[in-house]
Structures are given as structure tokens and as C-alpha cells.
Amino acid sequence: SAEDGSRAWLRYAPVPQASSHRLPPSIIALNSSSNSPVYVAGQELQKGIKGVFGKELSISSTNKGSPAIVVGTIDAYKKTYGSFKEARELEEDGFFLSTTGNTVRIIGQNERGALYGAFEYLSRVSQGKFSSVSYVSNPHAPIRWVNEWDNLDGTIERGYGGASIFFKNGYVVENVTHAAEYARLLASIRINGIIINNVNANPTLLNDRNIAGLARLADAMRPFGVQLGISLNFASPQTFGGLSTFDPLDANVDAWWANITNKIYQSVPDMAGYLIKANSEGQPGPLTYNRTLADGANMFAKAVKPHGGVIMFRAFVYDNKILYANWKNDRANAQVDFFKDLDGKFDDNVVVQIKYGPIDFQVREPPSPLFSTLRKTSTAIELQVSQEYLGQQCHLVYLGPLWKEILEYDLRADGKPSKVKDIYSGERFKRPLGGSAAVVNVGTNTTWLGSHLAMSNLYAYGIMAWDPAVEPDDVLQDWIRLTFGFDRKVMEVITDISMKSWPAYEKHTGNLGVQTLTDILYTHYGPNPASQDNNGWGQWTRADTFSIGMDRTVKNGTGNAGQYAPEIASMFENVDTTPDDLLLWFHHVPYTQKLKSGKTVIQHFYDAHYEGAATVQTFWKAWESLKGKIDTERFEHVLFRLIYQSGHALVWRDAINQFYYNLSSIPDEAKRVGNH
């Protein structure tokens, strides 16, 4: 039903074995003032237990000496029960969960942690995991945010789940029910911050009516421990404030930002901070006045500092009008070029938010070299749940495995272990702040994202932000149990098609690191390999009659390989040591170049496209075998999409293969491509 969609993984469906499990007779939510996260935790426990166990437990706020499910903060717990020996192990937002003996103890380092612990307990019992446990769980990084690209008019940039839940006709919506429901979902996967508007920000967000609206949204999400933040438009002092300039070093501009910031904090005292996209894709920024990006970031940093806010400053800065004719031009170089000399120049509440790859959410990219370049700057990784280049929620593409590869990638800074996940967490370079952000773009659609199966990506994002060590297939299976129940066949099929989906998508779109090959000029959807080249966007493949790929070597190309630490740089510099799946990212080679597999590049293209598309043909059939095991609404909705996906995979296959056949005139050994 529609309700199943909006409840997502928080369905609390009855669990058959639950009746034989001994459950404490009441819930104690310690020191919970109404609408605090601990209060919400109590309510959530009551609701979840009712669903899973079919039992109605009462909630009180004091210890009556009988066994109970106790939830609260360390401080509240100690006040009521005396000692708590695990207290010292808990970090900010962390929690302790113990189900040993006849009580359940859920103790958070702070209120948010207590709520996370309650969700963890409910996730366990909802999955039929009743064994006794006792453990501490702490976050991998302090910043675990989502970014929404919602416009004030109610549309969403790269949103595939309907209209905005935050804005309509230029203003914040009156009804904040959706916002609260979304915050609840986010809290259950331990997301603690949300930027609610598009990075290409409209300055009228700062008018009085909208600031009052921000307060309303923040109030709706605060009980779930989700802090609201906003994106700003750098030119606002001029375009909205009526000043003659938006130069970050102009005292009036500075004062204008400080003033508006103070005003917002009066309405939203715990605002998380600002997200800034500056001087990218034609957007205004400090470079407009020959100031540095750090000057721009620090201006905002100073404004939010007294209020405890942070500035997420996007590294996605590049010129979208670079000259194709210049062999050495490379958009992939932009981030390091723009940021390397600014290392150490950012205020301590600035976090540079870096897309996982150097270009733009492609199906395969190496990690951005900026991660191993910035040593004295806090960083966050930017991922994308919204499948902009990856089938836009019309295709099932489970992204856990893609993210896992990036997070675990060892960039070998200074020849030492330097996994991406340990860089952005702050651990590797001893930074106080850091974490991750994902562009999510949920909408009013009852499925949130426009597709039931796409929700595995949102779930996985949160779980991996908390703990990148988890395995993507385990996370997926938790999500399947929570979303679809316990049927073995359901588990088998959804696991199988999800785990095959990213590799299949890569195979029938862009192979060997050539990028996704979607249309990049308009829709970012469907095959359009011709759109990559001969324009200023820099998502080039440099495909011609004989050869293909970006020469990013230092010796003969754009020098991008040299932006990595020496061990990685020399691997990418050399065509023989570059892994096949990034060959065309780093090298320009003839179509007849032999891969490690022994195949030529062009034959690999042909074969991979047939393989990938063939795999996708199996998805809908596998899903169809679940008829009767999943409610009709979700069954039909997913089936429709998977059938569409199977057709579209064939379109992809033939469009790409025919394109490269036409260019290269090299026949397919298996005689499938071309005119026969």
C-alpha cells in the first residue's frame, strides 16, 4: 500500500517468533521533556513493540524497580541507577545497547544517541534478532548529513520523487508533517543534519516569511536529532540585500552576512550551518572579486562561529567552459588546482565537501585526489543517493558496493595507509571535524525517492556513514528484512538483483572508466556518448576513429595522475599498471589496445554491453517469481520499473555499441553489432 512506501524500513511488522521472546513489561524514558529525542525514543519503542510483539507497553519517566526497557542519556541513567561503566567508551552521538538479563538498556552519550539506540533495538527485533547482546556503538565521523536540492518553487534539481516536501511557490510549506516523517527516517539511520535547499540557492530563502518557515521545519525535525542547515547564494548581499557588492572582504558584506545569520539563529538556535556552492558552473563566488575560495568560506565561518555552526564548502568548483582543443585541459584537475594552495587557510569550522570522484557521480571514478591533498583542512565526502547519472530511480542500481570501493580506497598519502574513509573522518590527518553528505532529493511521492527499491540506497548511505566497515550486502539484507519481511525467496531475489545491478549498469553504459555516457547536456539520462565531447563541460572521452580515453598522464597528458600520492600516481601513470576499469579514465588508447583480460577495448565494449543488458533482462523475471509474497502495490510498482529497465538496457546496449562501431569501423567478433 502507499503506507508501506512511506513507512519504508520502519514498518514494525509482526514477527512470528516474537511471542516466545520475554519482553520487559514497560518502557522508561529518562528525563524526557516533551518532544526531546528521548521522548521520541520512548514513543518509537512503544509503537515498534506494538507492531512487532503486538503488546502495548506503558511509558513512564521514573524507575519503579521492575524490569523495563530503559532509554536515556548517560547523565540521566547515572542519576537514576547510579553507575554505568561503559560511559567512558561512548563518543558523541554514540550509544550503548544491552538486552542481557531481564531489562533492556539503551543509553546514549547524548539524547540523539539514545534515540539511535532505540532505533537499533527496534531494527534488531523487527528482524527477529532476539539473542542477548551488549555493545557500544559509536559513529565513524561527526558529520552525517543529507543534502536536498529543493528549489523554492517546489521543484527539485535532479529529484525523481515528486515535488518538494519543504517548499512551494517560493516559500517554506505550512504543513511540516512530511518534514517530520523524513526526519524520523533519517534518525533511524543516524543522520544528524540536513541541508534543505538546492546548492544553486535562491536568495529569497532569506526573507522574513521564509526564515519563520525555517524555524517551523527545524522545530519539526529537532525531536529526531536532525539539525537543519541551508544553502546560500553567494551574491545575496547584492541581489537580495541591496548592497552594491558581494565581495567577501568588504566590511559591509561581512556585516550583512553576520546580521542575517544572527537573525536566522534567533529562529533556529541550533542551525547546523551553511552549505556553499561558489564559483562553479557559472555561480557567483569570491573569485568574482579575485578573492580566494578560503576568503569566501571564512566569511561565513565567522558568521556562524558564535552560534556553533559549520560551513560545508563544496569542492565542486570548476569552469564549465574549458577549451576542448587543448589536450592538456582537464576538468578532473579543477578541485586540486583550486584548493591545494588553500590548505591550512580555512577557519576551523569549515569543512570542504568533496564529491567522491574528480568529475561528477559517474558510474566509475577513482576517488578524488583532493582527499589526499588537503592535510590541514577538514573534509567530507559527497555521495549521491539520487541516481542522477545512474538511471534516475527508473533503474535499480544498488550503490552500496560502489561507495564501499571508494570509502575503502587507500590513497597512500606519504606512503602510509590513507583510506578515504579515514581521511574524511578526520582520523588520518588529525582533523577535528569531517564526515559525509549525500544528495538525496526525496519528494512527496509515497515512495519518497520515486522507487521502492531505491530506498536501499538511502538506508545504506546512513548505515555506512555511521560505520563504513559494514559490508554492503549485509546492509542490504537488513533493509530487505525490514522492508519486505522474512520470506527466503524474497531475500534471495532482492539480494541477487541488487548486488548485480551496479556492475550490470556499468557494463551496459560506460566501460573501463570512460564515464557513464549518459546525455550530459540536458537530461543526464539515457545513452548519448556524442554529448560528452566537443563542449566546455569537460566530461570528455576524446573518442575518435582510432582511439579513445582521456590521457591524464603527467608525461603526455593533463597531469591528473600526478595529483595522487606517488604510489598511486605511478600506478595510474603507467598503462600496464592501471586497472582495466579505469583504463580510459587515465589513458588514451587505440580501440585495439589489449586489456589484462586479453580482449581489445572495443571487443570489451561490445561484450560488456551484451552481458550487462542480458543480466538486466533477468531482473524482472526474478522479481515476477515473488508474486504473492509481496503486497500488490509494491509488487506491481517494482515490476513495472524492472520491465522498463530491461528494455532500456537494450536501448543502452545497442546505442553505445553502434556508436563505437560507427566510429571505429571495427567489427564485433561475435557479429552482433553493425550491419550484417
The site for ligand GCW (CB under 6 A) is made up of 149, 157-158, 198-200, 277, 316, 360-361, 388, 524
- Type of residue at 397: V
Cβ closest to ligand GCW, residue 388 vs residue 551:
388
Q: Quick check: is 157 catalytic? A: no
Q: Which residues contact 431 (CB under 8 A, 6 or more apart)?
A: 377, 378, 379
Catalytic residue among 281, 405, 487, 492: 281
- What residues are paired with 527 via a beta bridge? 518
φ/ψ (deg, to 5) at 400: -50, -50
CA 24, CA 121: separation in Å to the nearest integer? Answer: 13
CB 653 within 8 A of CB 610: yes
Whether the CA torsion 640, 645, 648, 654 is positive or negative: it is negative
Q: Quick check: is 281 catalytic? A: yes
- What residues are paired with 228 via a beta bridge? 194
Shortest spacing between CB 443 and ligand GCW, in angstroms: 15
Catalytic residue among 44, 330, 365, 388: 388
CA 407, CA 209: separation in Å to the nearest integer? Answer: 41
Shortest spacing between CB 99 and ligand GCW, in angstroms: 43
Task: Reduce the DSSP state of residue 408 to 3 states and report it.
Answer: coil
Shortest spacing between CB 327 and ligand GCW, in angstroms: 25
Q: Which residues contact 514 (CB under 8 A, 6 or more apart)?
A: 541, 548, 549, 584, 585
Q: 10 Å Cβ neighbour count for 662? A: 11
Whether the CA torsion 560, 561, 567, 570 is positive or negative: it is negative
Cβ closest to ligand GCW, residue 179 vs residue 195:
195
> Which residue in 20, 147, 155 sits closest to 458, CA to CA?
147
Shortest spacing between CB 304 and ligand GCW, in angstroms: 21
Residue sitting closest to ligand GCW (CB) = 360
DSSP 321-354: T--TT-TT--GGGHHHHHHGGGTT-S-TTEEEEE
85 exposure class (CB count in 10 Å sphere: 0-12, 13-18, 19+): exposed
CA 491, CA 626: separation in Å to the nearest integer? Answer: 10
Cβ closest to ligand GCW, residue 316 vs residue 619:
316
- What residues are paired with 580 via a beta bridge? none
**Letter string b/e over residues 426-465, b meaning 16 or more CB atoms within 10 A of that residue's CB:** bebbebebbbbbbbbbbbbbbbbbbbbbbbbbbbbbbbbb
Task: Reduce the DSSP state of residue 188 to 3 states and report it.
Answer: helix
Cβ closest to ligand GCW, residue 505 vs residue 661:
505
Cβ closest to ligand GCW, residue 52 vs residue 235:
235
Residue with the three cell numbers 537494450: 650
Cβ closest to ligand GCW, residue 466 vs residue 525:
525
Shortest spacing between CB 389 and ligand GCW, in angstroms: 8
Cβ closest to ligand GCW, residue 525 vs residue 606:
525
Cβ closest to ligand GCW, residue 200 vs residue 329:
200
What one-character DSSP code corresponds to residue 90?
P
Shortest spacing between CB 472 and ligand GCW, in angstroms: 23
Q: Quick check: is 388 catalytic? A: yes
Cβ closest to ligand GCW, residue 6 vs residue 155:
155
Catalytic residue among 360, 382, 422, 478: 360
CA 317, CA 540: separation in Å to the nearest integer? Answer: 17
Shortest spacing between CB 531 and ligand GCW, in angstroms: 13
CA 485, CA 491: separation in Å to the nearest integer? Answer: 8
Shortest spacing between CB 149 and ligand GCW, in angstroms: 5
Shortest spacing between CB 388 and ligand GCW, in angstroms: 6
- Residues involved in catalysis: 281, 360, 388
